[in-house]
């Protein structure tokens, strides 16, 4: 059975009480023995004091045994020890003068110990027992029932001294019991409040540490010398380092700021709460990461500066959002321009194409002028296809939202691609679907258009052959499609401009296909990202919601 903390504390106190008792009785017996030995020609004689000392040592062994035998009842052990102490004190009082013995003060010690360990009730019980033993001893000595140590007191002296001692000790015993118990309770209450405050402070410290560790912003603190004294989990993730690498090291080890720059910023802080945010590129295992950071004072409770705080964030997502916003603005402006251009050029181009066909039909087949007219007609057709592509970008057709099997659609489109003119014997195709059937809400024609634009671009990026791998599977609330090719890849600049209209990286392209893909993905509430390096292939990842928002209208179930 598990013991309470109070029982364990009482057990420890009882052990100390045994040790103190042995020290006290030894300190009483030893001077007495030395005094006997110092008398010339005198030998130590056995008397009551030595008997009391021997009994005390023997009883102490019993107390030690009881600590184990009555381990579950420490309060009973305490009362047993208090009773033994009262008998010991009574024996000392009797041996050292009876009514005039100074050892009656030891009763007060036993009463105080009882009041401290077991509070008021135990103090009053021990005080009552002590008074009964003391009064019984004095009355026994006064009436001659017990042998009187030392010279006997005269009747007149005994007549006033006996009631005086009894009254004083009665008052003293109970006063000490009450006062000590009150003080002990006050101390206990103060300790309990202190313990509660300590626990509250510890909980608050843990809470603050959890808050610091849970925030997504990187946080590092340094002392006045620029040594890192703390760093949170987000900071380690942003920097791609371990706590052991950074704690205790110089601030420049973070890779955000050099020593001289740190000193300059600290000196320039003054009364400002924080420096303006600066941006740096932090090198990590997967490449460089843009990080924005600012510096502020670290102060103690009295407002005295004890160091600095570095707050920093990974700006990769923020930059992507900026790029997406700029791209959307460009696409909106380009769409308006394309719509106007297609309208203004389309009609004259149709007239030119018709006139050229009439003129060409009127000339002989081998006429050189007819060949020129055929070239004009061919280029006008190409220009017409480009204008229609602009129109598809500027005014995409209305979507037919339905629920369809996206896995089946990808399987069919990949089979058509495998047998198309764009595919050669040097191209390999891999399809990884899990599960083989998955339903998506959207426009299947537009999803097919996404597939064909991405797949054809992948084949164009692999003119000498390669592998196109398509991986598709549900991932939470989205359906994730990945297109991986082993082509020539893209530079960072090309990857940035990939979805901008009229940015074609192939000779035969119009630069509209990827812009249309981006628009379709956005209109379906999805996301698209590109990972590519020169000569290392390209990976394009699409995430489309499995269910369209209710604002798109009711769904037509298939």
Q: Where are the alpha helices (DSSP H) in 363-396?
A: 368-394
Percent of the chain whose predicted confidence (pLDDT) is above 70: 82
* Ordered strands of the 478-485 beta sheet: 427-433, 466-475, 478-485, 538-545, 527-532
How high is the pLDDT of residue 503?
A: 64
How high is the pLDDT of residue 483?
A: 94
Are the beta carbons of 242 and 258 closer than 8 angstroms?
no
Average pLDDT over residues 431-436: 90
How many whole angstroms separate alpha carbon 334 and alpha carbon 519? Answer: 12
How high is the pLDDT of residue 556?
A: 39
pLDDT band at residue 33 using 50, 70 and 90 as cut-offs = confident
- Selection from 269, 262, 264, 178 nearest residue 221 by Cα: 262
Collapse the DSSP code of 431 into the 3-class scheme (helix H, G, I; strand E, B; otherwise coil) and give the result: strand
Q: What is the helix, strand, coil percentage profile of the chain, to 5?
A: 60, 15, 25
Average pLDDT over residues 187-209: 83
pLDDT band at residue 554 using 50, 70 and 90 as cut-offs = very low
Tell how far CA 270 is from the center of its chain. Answer: 32
- Between 212-216, 265-269, 393-397, 461-465, the lowest mean confidence (pLDDT) is in 393-397
Interacting residues of 107 by C-beta distance below 8 A, sequence separation 6+: 86, 89, 130, 134, 169, 173
Residue 33, both tokens: 């023995």
Judged against a pLDDT cut of 60, whether residue 508 lies above it is answered with no
Judged against a pLDDT cut of 70, whether residue 125 lies above it is answered with yes
Are the beta carbons of 133 and 103 closer than 8 angstroms?
no
- Between 125-129, 204-208, 339-343, 510-514, the lowest mean confidence (pLDDT) is in 339-343
Name the residue with tokens 């609330």.
477
H-helix or E-strand containing 328? helix 316-362
Looking at per-residue pLDDT, the higher value among 362 and 63 belongs to: 63
What is the distance in angstroms between the CA of the first residue and the CA of the last residue of the chain?
A: 68
Q: What are phi and psi of 400, to 5 degrees?
A: -105, 90
How high is the pLDDT of residue 470?
A: 95
Are the beta carbons of 296 and 275 closer than 8 angstroms?
yes
pLDDT band at residue 428 using 50, 70 and 90 as cut-offs = very high
How many whole angstroms separate alpha carbon 530 and alpha carbon 519? Answer: 15
pLDDT band at residue 472 using 50, 70 and 90 as cut-offs = very high
Maximum pairwise Cα distance, the chain: 168
The tens digit of pLDDT for each residue in 2-19 reads 556 777 777 788 788 888
How many whole angstroms separate alpha carbon 42 and alpha carbon 373? Answer: 151
Cα-Cα-Cα-Cα dihedral of 48, 52, 55, 56, to 10°?
-170
pLDDT band at residue 390 using 50, 70 and 90 as cut-offs = low
Burial class (CB in 10 A: 0-12, 13-18, 19+), 512: buried
Judged against a pLDDT cut of 80, whether residue 187 lies above it is answered with yes
Of the ranges 259-263, 270-274, 536-540, the best mean pLDDT one = 536-540
How many whole angstroms separate alpha carbon 259 and alpha carbon 252? Answer: 6
Looking at per-residue pLDDT, the higher value among 43 and 285 belongs to: 285
Mean pLDDT, the chain, rounded, equals: 80
How many whole angstroms separate alpha carbon 159 and alpha carbon 97? Answer: 17
Average pLDDT over residues 543-547: 88
Q: What are phi and psi of 499, to 5 degrees?
A: -95, 5
How high is the pLDDT of residue 41?
A: 57
pLDDT band at residue 557 using 50, 70 and 90 as cut-offs = very low
How high is the pLDDT of residue 263?
A: 84
Tally of CA atoms within 13 A in the half-sphere of 202 that contains its CB:
6
How many whole angstroms separate alpha carbon 154 and alpha carbon 174? Answer: 30
Q: What are phi and psi of 299, to 5 degrees?
A: -120, 160
Domains delineated in the chain: 5-193 (no CATH), 216-314 (3.30.450.20), 320-394 (1.10.287), 402-552 (3.30.565.10)
pTM: 0.44
Average pLDDT over residues 515-542: 88
| DSSP for residue 150 | S
Q: How far is CA 352 from CA 140, 355, 483, in A?
A: 144, 5, 42
Looking at per-residue pLDDT, the higher value among 87 and 382 belongs to: 87
How high is the pLDDT of residue 4?
A: 67
- Between 88-97, 196-205, 343-352, the lowest mean confidence (pLDDT) is in 343-352
What is the torsional sign of CA 117, 122, 124, 127?
negative
pLDDT band at residue 558 using 50, 70 and 90 as cut-offs = very low
Are the beta carbons of 349 and 384 closer than 8 angstroms?
yes
Cis peptide before 435 (omega within 30 of 0): yes
* Strand-pair partners of 294: 311
- Selection from 521, 427, 532 nearest residue 480 by Cα: 521
Collapse the DSSP code of 529 into the 3-class scheme (helix H, G, I; strand E, B; otherwise coil) and give the result: strand
Dihedral-angle region of residue 314 (phi above 0 means left; psi in -120 to 50 means alpha; beta otherwise) = beta
């Amino acid at each position: 059975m598990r013991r309470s903390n109070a029982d364990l504390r009482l057990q420890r106190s009882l052990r100390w009480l045994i040790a103190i008792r042995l020290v006290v009785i030894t300190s009483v017996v030893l001077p007495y023995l030395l005094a006997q030995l110092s008398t010339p020609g005198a030998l130590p004689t056995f008397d009551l004091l030595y008997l009391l000392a021997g009994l005390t040592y023997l009883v102490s062994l019993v107390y030690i045994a009881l600590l184990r035998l009555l381990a579950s009842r420490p309060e009973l052990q305490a009362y047993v020890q208090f009773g033994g102490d009262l008998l010991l004190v009574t024996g000392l009082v009797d041996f050292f003068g009876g009514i005039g013995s100074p050892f009656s003060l030891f009763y007060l010690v036993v009463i105080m110990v009882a009041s401290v360990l077991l509070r008021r009730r135990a103090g009053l019980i021990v005080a009552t027992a002590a008074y009964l033993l003391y009064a019984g001893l004095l009355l026994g000595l006064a009436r001659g029932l017990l042998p009187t140590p030392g010279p006997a007191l005269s009747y007149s002296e005994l007549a006033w001294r006996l009631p005086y001692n009894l009254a004083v000790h009665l008052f003293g015993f109970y006063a000490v019991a009450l006062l000590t118990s009150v003080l002990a309770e006050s101390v206990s209450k103060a300790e309990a409040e202190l313990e509660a405050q300590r626990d509250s402070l510890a909980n608050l410290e843990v809470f603050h540490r959890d808050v610091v560790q849970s925030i997504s912003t990187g946080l590092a603190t340094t002392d006045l010398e620029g040594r890192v004294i703390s760093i949170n989990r987000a900071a380690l993730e942003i920097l791609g380092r371990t706590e052991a690498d950074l704690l205790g090291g110089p601030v420049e080890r973070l890779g955000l700021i050099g020593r001289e720059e740190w000193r300059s910023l600290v000196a320039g802080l003054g009364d400002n709460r924080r420096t303006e945010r600066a941006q740096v590129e932090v090198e990590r295992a997967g490449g460089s990461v843009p990080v924005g950071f600012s510096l502020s004072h670290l102060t103690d409770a009295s407002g005295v500066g004890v160091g600095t705080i570095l707050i920093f964030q990974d700006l990769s997502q923020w930059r992507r959002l900026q790029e997406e916003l700029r791209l959307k603005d460009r696409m909106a402006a380009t769409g308006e321009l394309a719509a106007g251009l297609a309208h203004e050029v389309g009609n004259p181009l149709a007239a030119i194409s018709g006139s050229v066909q009439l003129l060409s039909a009127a000339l002989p087949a081998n006429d050189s002028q007819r060949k020129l007219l055929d070239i004009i007609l061919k280029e006008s057709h190409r220009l017409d296809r480009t204008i229609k592509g602009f129109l598809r970008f500027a005014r995409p057709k209305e979507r037919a939202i339905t629920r369809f099997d996206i896995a089946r659609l990808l399987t069919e489109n990949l089979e058509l691609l495998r047998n198309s003119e764009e595919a050669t014997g040097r191209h390999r195709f891999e399809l990884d679907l899990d599960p083989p059937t998955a339903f998506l809400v959207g426009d299947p024609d537009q999803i097919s258009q996404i597939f064909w634009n991405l797949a054809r671009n992948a084949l164009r990026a692999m003119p000498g052959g390669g592998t196109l791998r398509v991986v598709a599977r549900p991932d939470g609330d989205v359906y994730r499609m990945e297109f991986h090719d082993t082509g020539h890849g893209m530079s960072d600049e090309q990857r940035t401009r990939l979805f901008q209209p009229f940015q074609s990286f192939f000779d035969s392209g119009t630069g509209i296909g990827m812009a249309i893909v981006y628009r379709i993905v956005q209109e379906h509430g999805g996301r698209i990202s590109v990972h590519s390096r020169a000569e290392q292939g390209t990976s394009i990842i699409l995430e489309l919601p499995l269910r369209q928002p209710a604002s798109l209208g009711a769904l037509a179930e298939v």
